[in-house]
Amino acid sequence: MPAIDQRRRITADRRAFNHYGVVCPFCGENVGPRFVTREHLDVPPNPPYAATVRCPRCKEEFEVIFSADAVRATERR
pLDDT, position 41: 77
Q: What is d(CA 64, CA 11) in angstroms, rounded to the nearest whole number? A: 6
Q: Identify the helix (H) or strand (E) that includes residue 55.
A: none
**What mean pLDDT is reported for the chain?**
81
Q: Hey, which residues does 22 pair with through a beta bridge?
A: 31
Query: Taking residues 61-75, what's their average pLDDT?
Result: 69
Q: Report yes or no: 70 and 11 within 8 Å, Cβ to Cβ.
A: yes
This model's pTM is above 0.85: no
For the chain, counts of helices (H) and of strands (E): 2, 6
